[in-house]
A and B are shown apart, each in its own frame.
Chain A
Amino acid sequence: MSPLQGCLLLSAALFSVGLVIALARSNAILVLLGIELMLNAANLNFIAFWRFHGGTAPATGVIFVLFAIAVAAAEAAVGLALVIALYRHQKNLRLQEATRLRG
């Protein structure tokens, strides 16, 4: 198994752990943490390819990951603000209860 395959399997495993957390949990914050794990897995994938697959523009791979980290941070911030607004409305964080389109 080459190093690239090892890294890709690691990122696939991390992605599926994030997927399981996002699907199985009903607490809104845990779902957001699962999504963050999936984003991290994707970044891991990018860096694995950057390191082990070569290419002609080495800085581009790193820049892609930097952009992905920045966008993930922005998305997490907005998501957690949404969670706070949701909590203020229904006083708990169970996603199953957020079923009404209008409060």
Chain B
Amino acid sequence: MTFTFLILAVIILGSALAAALRPNLIHCALLLVVSWLGVAGFYLWAGAEFVAFAQVLVYVGALSMVVLFAVLLTRQSRAELRVDAPETRRAVWAVIAGVAVSGVIGTAVFATKWDSAPVTAPEITVRGIGLELMGAHAAALLLLGVLLTAALLGAVVLAAPDRPEKEEKS
């Protein structure tokens, strides 16, 4: 079991780090897709199949397309895809911040006394998730629908080109 976890950790962190370092924007986006697939693999390992397939459907299937389209629509030529390396000072401070955050979280993780872990994953069925979504969380689900519709309309309005001014007929 730990072996699978190590492989997943290597895939997730390795592709995320590679995405941080590559100079080509499309390569960054595609490596991040590999990282998302790794996270979906983690969810499968943990026994949450529904979330794993939802992650693949949303992130790998849809978000990757949005990101790639945005990358292609915001450039003048193929050469512009090379992103500049960050300035050294900024990169150093960013790494220090990252290490500090993970240090704080790591200390907290090791200092807390955790209960013993259950051996098998909690039993959930799709039917159970559905009943709870429509039962206890129905209001949140409806709000999520409204949020997604608002995001869709907002994205279309923001990304649309400005309409040309209508000529006044004299």
Contacts and interface: CB of A to CB of B under 8 A. Distances in A.
Do A and B touch directly, given a CB cutoff of 8 Å in the complex?
yes
Interface of A: 2-10, 12-21, 23-27, 29-30, 32-33, 36-37, 40, 43-44, 47-48, 50-55, 58-63, 65-67, 69-71, 73-78, 80-85, 87-88, 91-93
B67 A80 contact: yes
Interface of B: 1-2, 5, 9, 12-13, 16-17, 19-20, 25, 28-29, 32, 35-36, 39, 42-43, 46-48, 50-51, 54-55, 58-59, 62-63, 66-67, 69-71, 73-74, 76, 80, 83-84, 86, 90-91, 93-95, 97-99, 101-102, 105-106, 109-110, 114-115, 117-118, 121-124, 128-129, 132-133, 137, 140, 144, 147-148, 151-152, 154-156, 158-159, 161
A70 B98 contact: no
Name which of A7, A17, A18 has the most chain B CB atoms within 10 A of its CB: A17
22 contacts: A3-B117, A4-B114, A5-B114, A10-B13, A12-B102, A14-B35, A15-B105, A20-B20, A36-B59, A40-B59, A51-B117, A52-B118, A61-B122, A62-B50, A62-B124, A65-B48, A69-B51, A70-B144, A73-B62, A77-B66, A80-B70, A84-B158
A67 to B, nearest CB: 6
A36 B66 CA distance: 13
Given A20-B97, A85-B158, 18 more contacts: A6-B5, A14-B12, A16-B102, A17-B13, A17-B20, A23-B90, A29-B29, A33-B28, A33-B29, A40-B39, A43-B55, A47-B42, A50-B122, A52-B118, A58-B122, A58-B123, A75-B151, A84-B158
Nearest to A88: B161
